[in-house]
Structure 1
Amino acid sequence: MTSSAIQQVPGVFHRRVGDILVTALSDGHQDAPLSTLGDIAQEDAAALLHSAFRPVPRRTAVNGFLVRHGDRVALIDTGCGPSKPTVGRLAGNLAAAGVAAESVDTLLMTHLHPDHFGGLTGPDGAPLYPRAEFRLHVAEHAYWRDDAAMAACDAARRAAFFGGARARLDAYADCTSLFSAGEVFPGVTAIPLPGHTPGHTGFLIASGSKSLLIWGDIVHVPEVQVPRPEATMAVDVDPAQAAATRRHIFDRVATDRQAIAGMHLHFPALAHLAREGDGYRLVADAWTLDLDGDI
């Protein structure tokens, strides 16, 4: 008798960037109402999702990325942690990729929102990456430590966002190293992309003639925000700046034909952005067994 499948295969996908191996790790996905989108009518957002054969309410993938260069191992973001039934897979996928948490020597954080910091600590609040240096943009660190900024938020965001961020900052306080720009790991350069949060950061991975820009949360809902880059998110700290940053980076990666990856692009989350008329079209990379691919 054959048994029915009860779960998907591990969410692990490798891509070599020169001498650097990048591994996309799925944490799962989250569904949220269209009211979490701003600067676009809900019926317009629903129409875009419907035309792209996506569910309404909107579905957002959650990913992290492992970077291995020589004997160095970095993890970019840690996902939500086991907070909902559809997320919390990153730690298991990291293990499926053959990497123990203890071997991660650097944590690179795009920013401190719950779907990025949730997997930093266990239920007891202890670090899950005990040997890692914790690297974060200086403006991001300052924002989540700012009592005035916390007081300006509603009670729910104070608890989940500020409370959660501060708990993780406390857990990694002894191994925190702040940056503003420049190389933050061998072959990895920080690219400030402010707006979503003050210190929101992308990471450009480059080796030889190859490069990949992990652009963090430039988009949350690609089916909506690629054709309508003015669409913002309710969690944007500065929505106008987030939209301006999105337009700037769209122009840059399309002009340069820069390979991209994102925390909220559908897994395995590697793509290019092509110009289409006055706008853009996201072109997902084809699945390949070749680690080098066509980046």
Structure 2
Amino acid sequence: MVKSEAPGFHRLMIGDCEVTVLSDGHLPLAAMKLLQGDSSQIAEALKRNFLGEQVETSHNSFLVNTGTKLVLIDAGAGTLLGPHTGQLLNNLRAAGYRPEQVDEIYLTHMHADHIGGLIAGDQRAFPNAIVRADKRDTDYWLNEENMRAAPTEAKRFFQAAMVSVSPYMRAGQLKTFDGITDLIPGVRAQPAYGHTPGHTMYVVESKGEKLLAWGDIVHVAAVQFADPTVTIGYDVDSAEAKQEHWRIFEDAAKNGYLIGGAHLPFPGLGHVRSNGDKAYAFVPLNSLL
């Protein structure tokens, strides 16, 4: 028995931009414990989709090559979440790139599974990259007072953010933005606050084609598309996160653009379809992997 997996990357074109989805690995998510909503309906949705209380969850990042800039959207978990994640660097190399080639890193938010891969040991894993994030997230997660005031079980989120981002801060390579921001030609930051104070999506557009890399809008597709009211225990503001579900699902279904999710089944690409009154469905991209 080989007991190893093939390199996890998938490539597609968005107009003139080459997008490579990089798998950082996968982890079981305690869906029944963490999802917040009608527990009986959540259990039924899981059963209907042949899932149990633990759902194996993909961790996806998106590498965007515009031809002039190489941009990584989220950096994976690094060593923070154990041996089943932290595969981003290996998969980046397998996809034909090197970490030192990455010009910029855009963070959807500063949870451990999106920032731990910024460092290798205590050094910058991407030595030439500028790291960008919404200032609401940096102000929240890099604040010592917020960490001291947080419940004991939540302090690790602050510690992970501080450890992962500090080498870039010391090098002057952390830059913040505020809300909707054109970052480079073809890539725009778009707020989707709620999951964290500065949770941000990134719009990649070229030649009339569009990909929305939406970060952690959805954690369990089998449940949350059909019932957008379901949130997750990791949401900092669950009421705001719920409103973002409605807003983004409606817009994506109406306009038909491609979405990329950090925790949708790898490669995390597809479309959102309206599925009756106040319900939606995820349609995975029809492509050869």
What is the TM-score of this pair, normalised by structure 1?
0.92
**Paired position in structure 2 for 1:293:** none
Is the contact made by 1:31 and 1:60 (CA closer than 8 Å) also made in structure 2?
yes
Contact 2:209–2:257 (CA<8 Å) still a contact in 1?
A: no
Secondary structure of the corresponding residue to residue 67 of structure 1: strand
Q: After the TM superposition, which parts of structure 1 deviate over 4 Å for at least 4 consecutive aligned residues?
A: none
Counterpart check, 1:225 vs 2:221: no
1:20 aligned to 2:46?
Answer: no
1:167 aligns with 2:163: yes
Q: Secondary structure at the match of 1:79?
A: coil
CA contact (8 A) 1:59 1:221 kept: no
1:102 aligns with 2:86: no
Q: In structure 1, which of residues 31, 40, 44 is the aligned counterpart of residue 41 of structure 2?
A: 44
Residues 1:177 and 1:239: Cα distance change in structure 2 (over 3 Å): same
1:65 equivalent in alignment to 2:62? yes
For 1:112-158, what per-residue CA distance to the aligned partner results, in whole angstroms no more than 9, with x for missing partners? 000101111112x2110010011111111111133443233211321
**In the TM superposition, what whole-angstrom CA distance separates every residue of 1:169-197 from its partner, at most 9, and x where no partner exists?**
31111111111222113310001000000
How do residues 226-245 of structure 1 correspond to structure 2 at under 5 angstroms? Answer: 226-245=225-244
Determine the structure 1 residue equivalent to 2:119.
121
8 Å Cα contact 2:118-2:165 kept in structure 1: no
Unmatched 5+ stretches in structure 1: 290-295
Q: Corresponding residue for 1:187?
A: 186
Equivalent residue pairs, number: 283
Cross-structure match for 1:292: none
Distance 1:36 1:30 in 2: 14
CA distance in 2, matches of 1:149, 1:232: 23
Query: How high is the sequence identity, in percent, across the aligned residues?
Result: 37
Describe the superposition over 1:212-251 as per-residue Cα deviations: whole angstroms up to 9, x where unpaired: 1011110011111111111111111100000101110011
Following the alignment from structure 1 to structure 2, what is the Cα–Cα distance between the partners of residues 117 and 264? 15
Does the Cα contact within 8 Å between 1:137 and 1:200 map onto a contact in 2? yes
Match of 1:134 in 2: 131
2:284 maps to 284
- Asked if the contact 1:215–1:262 (Cα under 8 Å) also holds between the matched residues in 2, the reply is yes
Please name the residue that 1:177 is paired with: 175
Separation in 2 of the partners of 1:213 and 1:227? 20
